[in-house]
Amino acid sequence: MSEINVLLIFIIASALIAVEAKDLLSGVIAIGAAGIGLSMAFLVLKAPELAILQLVVEILALIVLISATIKRDLPFSTSGRWLFNTISTFVFVIVFLGCAHEAFKALPQFGQSREIGAAAQIYVTNAATISGERNIVSAILHDRVFDSVAEFALVFAAVVGVLAVGRRNAKTHEAPHE
């Protein structure tokens, strides 16, 4: 359980930086770091599906937030730091390739499944009796389709919210207060 403690410290530290940062872009990047840490925590807690979902949603939210804040203030600090930038780029590439090599070695072979954990064993033993289906695959599929309908309702609510906000803005022509 030492990895999860390290990840929790990382998430709390980046959340504090996001609150205390002076400019908006640093705060947005720190929020992104907190989300990536949460995704890694899901992965350590053996929930890879949630980890993929958290990672993807975090990237989308980060793009939206950066495109919203990048016009407001954009601190440039590219001049006079080319040595630091080059060295940090090379170090990042080396660390990334090393971690990717280790991660690909830890993956199971193609076509082989992982070993069944304690939580998955509950599904295997109880799925037929709880859901009343003939086999576990169709039980999971029924579950999945209702899950998809709920996700679609979520997306529909998001689209309706954006339409409502845009319509109010187009009608009143209020100048935003800075």
By the criterion CB under 8 A, which residues form the site for other proteins?
Answer: 48-49, 51-53, 56-57, 59-60, 63-64, 67-68, 71, 137, 140-141, 144-146, 148-149, 151-152, 155-156, 158-159, 162-163, 165-166, 169-170, 173-176, 178
Taking the complex as a whole, how short is the minimal distance between the CB of residue 13 and other proteins, in angstroms? Answer: 27
Min CB(169)–other proteins separation in Å: 6
Residue 71 phi, psi dihedral angles, 5° rounding: -85, -25
Give the list of residues 6+ apart from residue 7 with CB closer than 8 angstroms, or none. Answer: 37, 40, 41, 44
- Write down the least CB distance from residue 157 to other proteins, Å: 10
Among residues 87 and 141, whose Cβ is nearest to other proteins? 141
CA distances from 113 to 35, 39, 79 (A): 28, 22, 50
HSE, CB side, 13 Å, CA atoms: give it for residue 119.
3
